[in-house]
Amino acid sequence: MTYASDTVPSRNRKTDVGPATACVVLAVILSAAGLTSALRAYEKPLWYDEICTAIVCRLPHLPEIWGALNNAADTNPPPFYLLARAGRLIIRDDHLGYRLPSLLGFLGTVICVYLIAARRIDHIAALAAAAFLLSTRFMDFAYEARPYAPVILCVSAAILAWQRVDQSVFYHFALALALASAVSMHYYAILVWPAFIAAEAWLWLNGRFRTGAWIALLVGTTPLFSLPRFLRNSSGITARTSGLVLIWLRFCRGRLSF
């Protein structure tokens, strides 16, 4: 029996392009998308949720960030703010710096989609699949200082690793890391687990139990158990609003410029 993770396409050399040409075309797609998104990020003002990100990231020390999130100042796990804070350290402009993780997440997702598709179909079709993302609303999240694009990158990387999990133990670790990273960016990423579980269950029903894949799926959930207080407090909308006001008054003193 042939499984999805084993399928390698038979390529029609008359209509397909070579890997080198495909990489050049993909680089052009990434360059165009990256430049367009960067310009949009530079000119677009931060909106309310992005200001929440900036307020938390601008707290002077990590304990203050932890304390703010414990008081529901915002509703995402701490690793996202560390990532956004790192982006702001790399690029000193608020609009580009805080949005850098999303920009890289979008571009990384395009690459992952190409690699996932290229395993099943020819290079031209895989390039079309990757370029299709540029015509969707997902591109709007390439210049937003929120965790959505990084989460989708992590999920795409998880699919890429799952597709190749039989090739090497490396992909077991990659699958676990990608899933753990996804749920570390946004708690709702846990909603992708049923898809992976259903796929593995189907293989199991067809006589193929992959221990490494099941362990990776289990390990990928560990951030949920290590951050229970943040998860519990993330539903407090009223607490979030009051927490933001307190943090703004105590740490920012009205000097933030957006």
Instruction: List, for residues 166-208, the tens digit of each pLDDT value.
Output: 999 999 999 999 999 999 999 889 899 999 999 999 999 999 9
The DSSP letter of residue 211 is H
pLDDT in tens, 141-155: 999 999 999 999 999
Distance CA 94, CA 150 (A): 18
Q: How confident is the model at residue 75 (pLDDT cuts 50, 70, 90)?
A: confident
Phi, psi of 161 (to 5 degrees): -70, -40
Which alpha helices (DSSP H) does 44-93 contain, by range? 48-57, 62-70, 78-90
Enumerate long-range contacts of 195-204, CB under 8 Å, 24 or more apart.
Answer: 196/158, 196/162, 199/4, 199/162, 203/3
- Percentage of the residues of the chain whose pLDDT score is greater than 70: 81
Inter-axis angle of helices 48-57 and 78-90, nearest 10:
80
Confidence of residue 18 (pLDDT cuts 50, 70, 90): confident
Check residues 256 and 213 and name the one with the higher pLDDT: 213
User: pLDDT tens-digit profile of 129-141?
Assistant: 999 999 999 999 9
pTM of the predicted protein model: 0.83
Note the pLDDT of residue 8. Answer: 53
- Lowest-confidence pick of 69-73, 80-84, 113-117: 69-73
